[in-house]
Amino acid sequence: MKVKVLFISTLLLVVMCLPTALIYSVEIREGGAGDFVVGVNWFDISDLNSDLKEAGYKAFDKYTFNFGGEGYGIIGGRIIIGGEGHGFSQEVSTSTHFETLSGGYGLFNVGYVAFSKWGLRLFPMIGLGGGGIELRITENVSPSFSDIMNDPKQEASLSTGGFIGQGAVGLDYVIILSGDEEGEGGLLFGIRAGYLLSFTSSSWEMGKIDIAGGPDVRFNGFYIRFIIGGAGYEI
């Protein structure tokens, strides 16, 4: 219930940003941008951590650094259409095992330019997509090739995933570096803040084999990201 309340609250924040466009926005221009992204995500992995600790393994951090990219186009000076993709990974270890939690996700986004002035652009947006998470547990040994052939169960790799959505707000600042009578472009810096929500519960697999009774792991949680890239706009 708390997760749904947080997601709805984020969407309401997005909607509340829209009226500012009627008052403040003066630079209505079409264009686009592409950028590199680095940030932090908070995921709901408490069930997974409980199972790991119960089995004698180390728990993972609830937050993880992510890297990726995004791109968008501005249609009619207002509507933003774009996409983004991100990957993440974290590792912990004990004296007997290495543990890795990694994955990635991608989203198709639709937004609205609510403020555009002084090189700044503010836009709420929503997105839909999918993502996957992989848990890998490897024995902390140095086997020979024949050891692996005799005992291939020295590593377990399990995965899960599903559909996700987001509500977010973005703020970009563009430093114009060049231009002509048709348009101008420059260096883009920005920030994104939002909330991810998984629409489905976890269903674990190991290879092509379904695994029953696995923990419920979801992308649910807030994120903040910083971006750098390039942008161009029509004059």
144-155 residue pLDDT tens: 788 777 776 677
Report the chain's mean pLDDT, rounded to a whole number.
85
With a cut of 70, say whether residue 22 has pLDDT above it: no
Residues in contact with 23: Cβ distance below 8 Å, sequence separation at least 6, in sequence order = none
**Which numeric CATH code is attached to 2-234?**
2.40.160.20
- Whether 154 contacts 123, CB under 8 Å: no
51-109 pLDDT, tens digit per residue, is 999 999 999 999 999 999 999 999 988 899 999 999 999 999 888 889 999 999 999 99
With a cut of 80, say whether residue 173 has pLDDT above it: yes
What is the average pLDDT across 196-225? 89
Q: Determine the Cα angle at 67 with ends 154 and 229, to 5°.
A: 155
Q: Which of 2-16, 91-105, 135-149 has the lowest mean pLDDT?
A: 2-16
> pLDDT at position 2, please?
54
> pLDDT at position 122, please?
94
Side chain identity at residue 92, one-letter code: V
Q: How far apart are CA 17 and CA 13, in angstroms?
A: 6
Q: Are strands 63-75 and 221-234 parallel, antiparallel or unpaired?
A: unpaired
Q: Are strands 97-112 and 79-93 parallel, antiparallel or unpaired?
A: antiparallel
> pLDDT at position 125, please?
96
Residues in contact with 106: Cβ distance below 8 Å, sequence separation at least 6, in sequence order = 83, 84, 85, 86, 129, 130, 131
Q: How far apart are CA 139 and CA 146, in angstroms?
A: 16
Q: pLDDT band at 232, cuts 50/70/90?
A: confident
What is the average pLDDT across 101-124? 93
Q: The tokens 């090189």 sit on which residue?
A: 119
Q: Which tops the pLDDT comparison, 160 or 3?
A: 160
Cα 216 to chain centroid, rounded: 19
Q: pLDDT band at 162, cuts 50/70/90?
A: very high
* Closest among 128, 113, 141, 148 to 200, alpha carbons compared: 128
> pLDDT at position 203, please?
85
- Whether 154 contacts 138, CB under 8 Å: yes
Q: How far apart are CA 66 and CA 37, in angstroms?
A: 8
% of the chain at pLDDT higher than 90: 57
Q: Which of 54-58, 110-114, 147-151, 195-199 has the lowest mean pLDDT?
A: 147-151
> pLDDT at position 183, please?
77
